[in-house]
Amino acid sequence: MDTAVTSLNNTQNPVPSKTVVLGITGCIAAYKSAEIVRALQKAGVRVKVVMTEHATHFVDPTTFRALTHEPVAVGLFDDPADPIHHISLAQEADVMLLAPCTANMLAKVANGIADDLLSTTVLATTAPLIIAPAMNVHMYENPATRYNIGKLEIRGVHFVEAGTGYLACGDTGKGRLADVDDIVSATLSQLGVKRDLAGKHIMITAGPTIEPIDPVRYITNRSSGKTGYAIARAAVARGADVTLISGPVSLQAPEGVSMVYVQTADEMLVAAQEAFENADIGIFAAAVADMKPAQAADHKLKKGSDDERLSGIELVENPDILEMLGAKKDNRVVIGFAAETDQVLENAQKKLISKHANMIIANQVGEGMAFGTDDNEVWFVDKEEIEALPRMSKANLADAILTKSLEFLS
C-alpha cells in the first residue's frame, strides 16, 4: 500500500474544561435553569450558579447544588472564606450567562449598577456575556427595556431573544424565556464548542471483554476503556447521539450517553450489531479478547492430579466484531484500533484492509503508552495516508478522531 506519512501537530479540543457562570434572577422561568445546567453539563461544561435573593423564592439553591456539585452563591458575603466573592466568580467564568434575566437585572447591567452579588459579578467579569431575557410582554416591549437591550448589544452583549406565547401572568405575546436548546447552543458557540455531529448516531465500543474460565477466573486484557469513554464524551459535546457499549471498567458513565454494559465478546457482538444498524459512525475502541475457553466450568477448577483441566484449558477464537461489522458497513464509517508491540504501521495497514475499515488508529504498546494512561501517541492510517499525531491527552485525541471520522462521511 502506497501512503504518504504526514504529521498532525494541532488538534482542537472543543471543551477544554470551560466554566459557565449561570446567573438566575427572580422569574417563574427560573425552573428552566435546571434544564440549562444539565444540557451544558452533557456538553462537558462546568457550571457555577449565582442566584439573586428573589430567584431563591422560585427555585431553592439546593436544586442547583445537587445538579452542579458546586456551592451556589446568593449573597455578597455568604462565603466567609472569600470576602470578594464576586471577583473570584467573575474570574472563573469563560462565559457569563443570565437565564432567565428579568427587566430589573437587565436595567442594572445596562447602567452599570452593582448592588448584589450577581450584578457585581457581571460588572467584574471580562468574559463574554449572554442574556436570555424573560418578562411580561408589556415590560419586554417597554421603550426603557428596548433601550437597555440596544445599549447592551452595542457593547457586545449577546442576546437569546425571548419567545412568543402564553405567559405565566396570563398575557400572550413576546417575553417568555427562549428555548433551552437555543440558550445552550448560543452558550456553547461562545465557548467555541463545535456542534458538527448534531443529528449523527455514533456507536462506540470500549474497555476489555472478560471470558470466564470458571466462576472465579477469566481471561482478559489491560484495557481501561479511557479512550472509548473520552470519545463518547467528546461526541456528545459535539451534538451526537451516542451508544457506548462497554466492557467491565472502573469509569463513570459519560453524561448523555446510552450505555450498554457487557462482559464477554459474544455479548459485545450482539450489542454492537444492534447499535450499528442505526449508526452513522462505528468506532471500535474495545480491546476484545482474541480467545476464550471452549467451555467455562460451572465450578472452581482445582490444581493437582485430581483435576488437570486448569492447566490444559482448550481455547477457541472469539468473533472478530470489527471485521464482521466492517464487512457490512455500506455507507457507514468504521474506525478501528491496532495496539501493537512491533511493526505498528505495517500491521495497521494490513488491518485496515482485512477489517474493511475506513481508518485504523495505530499505537505502540509499552513504555507508558496506550493501556491505562491518560494520554497517548498514535497514527491515523487510511488508504490515502498515514498521519502521525504527537502525544496528547485522550480527551484531545478523542476530538481528533471524531474530526477525522467526519471527513469519511462527506
Within-domain flag for 402? yes
Q: What is the pLDDT of residue 204?
A: 98
Asked if 101 is an active-site residue, the reply is no
The kind and range of the H/E element at 336 are: strand 333-340
Q: How many residues does the chain have?
A: 410
CA angle centred on 371, ends 329 and 342, rounded to 5°: 80
Residue tagged active-site, from 66, 168, 169, 316: 169
The β-bridge partners of 158 are 130
Residue 1 has pLDDT above 50, yes or no: no
Q: In which residue are the cell numbers 471500535 written?
A: 284
pLDDT digits (tens, 9 = 90+) for 254-270: 888 999 999 999 999 99
Q: Could you give the CA distance from residue 127 to residue 138 in angstroms, rounded to a whole number? A: 31
Do 213 and 146 share a domain, yes or no?
no
Residue 308 has pLDDT above 60, yes or no: no
Do 148 and 273 share a domain, yes or no?
no
Q: Which pLDDT band, with edges at 50, 70 and 90, does 16 fall under?
A: very low
Q: State what percent of residues in the chain have pLDDT above 70.
A: 90
Residue 305 has pLDDT above 70, yes or no: no
The kind and range of the H/E element at 276 are: helix 265-276
Q: What is the pLDDT of residue 370?
A: 57
Do 205 and 120 share a domain, yes or no?
no
The kind and range of the H/E element at 333 are: strand 333-340
pLDDT digits (tens, 9 = 90+) for 141-150: 999 999 999 9
Residue at which a domain ends, from 152, 169, 191 = 191
Which residues span the domain enclosing 221? 201-409
Within-domain flag for 5? no
Q: Which residue type sits at 141?
A: E
**Count of helix runs (H) and strand runs (E) in the chain:** 13, 22
Do 163 and 42 share a domain, yes or no?
yes
Within-domain flag for 258? yes
User: Hey, what's the cell of 109?
Assistant: 447591567
Do 32 and 79 share a domain, yes or no?
yes
Average confidence (pLDDT) over 18-47: 92
Candidates 389, 385, 336; CA nearest to 2 is: 385
Q: In which residue are the cell numbers 481455547 written?
A: 315
Do 213 and 183 share a domain, yes or no?
no
Average confidence (pLDDT) over 261-285: 97
Residue at which a domain ends, from 132, 160, 191 = 191
Structure-derived torsion over alpha carbons of residues 351, 372, 369, 287, reported in degrees to the nearest 10: -10
Q: What is the pLDDT of residue 170?
A: 74
Residue 13 has pLDDT above 60, yes or no: no
Q: What is the pLDDT of residue 365?
A: 79
Q: What is the pLDDT of residue 254?
A: 86
Q: What is the separation, in whole angstroms, between the first and last Cα of the chain?
A: 23
Q: What is the pLDDT of residue 367?
A: 64
User: Hey, what's the cell of 297?
Assistant: 466450568
Q: Name the DSSP letter for residue 55.
A: G
Q: Could you give the CA distance from residue 128 to residue 144 in angstroms, rounded to a whole number? A: 23
Residue at which a domain ends, from 161, 191, 221 = 191
Average confidence (pLDDT) over 366-387: 80
Q: What is the pLDDT of residue 301?
A: 82
Residue 178 has pLDDT above 60, yes or no: yes
- Number of structural domains (the chain) is 2
Within-domain flag for 33? yes
Assess contact for 380 and 363: CB atoms under 8 A.
Answer: no
Average confidence (pLDDT) over 154-165: 91
CA angle centred on 62, ends 56 and 67, rounded to 5°: 115
pLDDT digits (tens, 9 = 90+) for 61-116: 999 999 999 999 998 767 656 556 778 888 999 999 999 999 999 999 999 999 99
Residue 306 has pLDDT above 80, yes or no: no
CATH of the domain at 289: 3.40.50.10300
Q: Could you give the CA distance from residue 102 to residue 239 in angstroms, rounded to a whole number? A: 30
Q: Name the DSSP letter for residue 369.
A: B
Helix 117-124 to helix 85-92 angle (10° resolution) is: 50
Identify the weakest region by mean pLDDT among 13-22, 121-130, 240-249, 365-374.
Answer: 365-374
Residue 240 has pLDDT above 70, yes or no: yes
Q: Which residue type sits at 35?
A: E
Q: Which residue type sits at 299?
A: H
Q: Which pLDDT band, with edges at 50, 70 and 90, does 316 fall under?
A: very high
- Residue 218: strand, helix, or coil: strand
Q: Which pLDDT band, with edges at 50, 70 and 90, does 22 fall under?
A: very high
Do 145 and 267 share a domain, yes or no?
no
